[in-house]
Amino acid sequence: MSAFDAYLRLEGSLDGSVLMDESMARHTSYRIGGKADLFLVCHSYRIGGRARLFVPCDSLSDLSLVFSVLREEEVPWAVIGRGSNLLVADEGIEGLVIVLGEKFARIDIEGNLLTAQAGATNKQVAEAARDAGLTGYEFASGIPGSIGGAAIMNAGAYDGEFKDVGVSVTCLTLEGEVVTVSAADAQWNYRHSMMSDRGYIVLDATIHLVPFDKDKISARMAELKQRREDKQPLELGSAGSTFKRPIGYYAGKLIQDAGMQGHTVGRAQVSTKHAGFVVNMGGATAADIRQVIVDVQNAVFADAGVHLETEVRMWGFDD
């Protein structure tokens, strides 16, 4: 593997758009993380009236070039949106991180269908739907992160999930092919999708919504926003709900019953406001966060015999 050789090749081809040794703390909601060897931000452009991917310089062919170089140099890669469900190790991560963020966030609406590029936030999508008088995505209006991430993990909240509205997603395969994945083929279930299994990059997602009164949509979004603010530690760095909901249980209740709410390692803590969140109180390391997660898993298993699986993705850790 030669990340430096890959950098030299990509830097020459993509006109200065590739960075080296970029701190991932700048790109995650935990505000924690070591450096990525290489870092690439993707933009967007239009073909045939529809938004598609644009790596800063030319066209979708540039992204194919990126993957060709990565394969030849045997450099690992990963894709993020807003980094809202990610913990990066203090030691950093090897390879290239590709970012589909705010410069890749176009939203188009045609009838009852809304198509958003992967970097559009869930809030932006919900607000665009509201402004068009379309209901169905209010549940996601407060979920941090992008619609690309929501499609990959079948994000959900307040009795709604992405699969309830998802029609299709446009993806880039590991072989560099652009494919459209239908709802039937996406295999959405609890915090999971076929795209995640296959390592597809979601470029955009199309959802089906229903006409409704704008004021009532706004009221519902405001209600959910207030509920989040009342119950969740939004003022602190976190990755949202740290653990998946076990079948037949609530993670927060299991953590409370195991006596772990408020458990602290360094500057990482099980939130005293919501036991389902492991938060950065300011100055926590990724190792602190990881240790709190492990401590909680061990305590809950010892107390209730239930293994808590993480929703948070963890990159750069040995195990």
Half-sphere exposure for 181 (CA within 13 Å, toward CB): 26
Neighbours of 91 (CB within 10 A): 14
Of the residues 241, 245, 271, 290, only one is catalytic, namely: 241
Q: Are strands 93-100 and 77-80 parallel, antiparallel or unpaired?
A: parallel
Q: Are strands 93-100 and 35-47 parallel, antiparallel or unpaired?
A: parallel
191 is catalytic: yes
CA distance linking residue 280 with residue 278, whole number of Å: 7
CA distance linking residue 197 with residue 288, whole number of Å: 28
- Nearest CA-CA partner of 277 in 309, 304, 300, 251: 251
DSSP code of residue 249: S
Pairs from 15-23 (Cβ < 8 Å, separation ≥ 24): 15/56, 15/57, 17/41, 17/55, 17/56, 17/57, 18/96, 22/97
Q: Which residues pair with 51 in a beta bridge?
A: 46
Of the residues 191, 220, 245, 290, only one is catalytic, namely: 191
311 is catalytic: yes
Q: Collect all residues with Cβ–Cβ distance below 8 Å to 214 and sequence separation of at least 6.
A: 130, 131, 133
DSSP code of residue 246: P
46 is catalytic: no
Q: Are strands 134-135 and 156-157 parallel, antiparallel or unpaired?
A: unpaired
Counting every residue, how long is the chain?
319
Of the residues 73, 138, 161, 311, only one is catalytic, namely: 311
CA distance linking residue 198 with residue 79, whole number of Å: 13
Tokens of 216: 């009532």
Catalytic center residues = 191, 241, 311
